[in-house]
Amino acid sequence: MLVLAGIVVIAAGFMLRFNPLLVVVASALVTGLAAGLDPVTIVSAFGKAFNDNRYITIVYIVLPVIGILERHGLQTRARDLIGRIRGATMGRLLLVYLLFRQITAALGLTSIAGPAQTVRPLIAPMAEAAAETQGNSDPDKARALAAATDNVGVFFGEDIFIAIGSILLMKGVLQSYGIDLPPLHLSVWAIPTAVAASVIHGTRLLLADRRLARRRAA
């Protein structure tokens, strides 16, 4: 029963509002010592867990890099680039990004883009610049459409990839009810939904372009 002391440490630490990371580490130490492990073995287990899941910490490297790039004018350059492209509109730009996001998500590359990696530093500023050339004076709408485009693309595109968590979850739930369905079948039936999402959201983007054109003409 002593090995359950780690649960008490977690409960007490969260109740006292200590640093969550310190609470989890302390709980692991208490559990390891209660199980009769020596400190070196416990530290080795920490190191092995970190090494096995090191890809999770990539985000902590990517975010500072993006911050440094933004500080040195990444958003300004993105706005200037889209401003020099003749015929570029907010709707067309986001429609291209929507297709890119869906295709890459369908291939399992869900982390290749996202709100932190691409939307905030690149896509949103480019959408704002394109909207400004169309006469839009409200940058919040361009940012909202950019974020929505990313969400729609990855949400409806990732289910086409057979090894994504949502597909495996559906397979597990169906199997628990005695329905044995291969993941490939679930992925195939996700394609019509992804196509419908592209058509519906793509139409929204083109309608936004049309509204901006009418407003500029007026």
Q: What is the pLDDT of residues 69-82, one digit of tens each?
A: 667 677 777 777 77
**Averaged pLDDT score across all residues of the chain:** 83
Q: What is the pLDDT of residue 55?
A: 52
Whether residue 108 sits in one domain with residue 20: no
On whether residue 145 sits in a domain, the answer given is: yes
Whether residue 99 sits in one domain with residue 20: no
Whether residue 12 sits in one domain with residue 79: no
Whether residue 177 sits in one domain with residue 125: yes
Half-sphere exposure of 43 (CA within 13 A, CB side): 3
In the chain, the number of structural domains is 2
What 3 state SS string does the chain have?
CHHHHHHHHHHHHHHCCCCHHHHHHHHHHHHHHHCCCCHHHHHHHHHHHHHHCHHHHHHHHHHHHHHHHHHCCHHHHHHHHHHHCCCCCHHHHHHHHHHHHHHHHHCCCCCCCCHHHHHHHHHHHHHHHHHHHCCCCCHHHHHHHHHHHHHHHHHHHHHHCCCCHHHHHHHHHHHHCCCCCCHHHHHHHHHHHHHHHHHHHHHHHHHHHHHHHHHHHC
Mean pLDDT over 111-121 rounds to 85
Kindly tell me if the per-residue pLDDT of 151 is higher than 90.
yes
Whether residue 91 sits in one domain with residue 31: no
Which of 113 and 102 is assigned the larger pLDDT? Answer: 102
Domain hosting 160: range is 73-217
Q: What is the pLDDT of residue 62?
A: 65
Residues 77-99: pLDDT tens digits?
777 777 677 777 899 999 999 99
On whether residue 135 sits in a domain, the answer given is: yes
On whether residue 29 sits in a domain, the answer given is: yes
pTM reported for the whole predicted model: 0.66
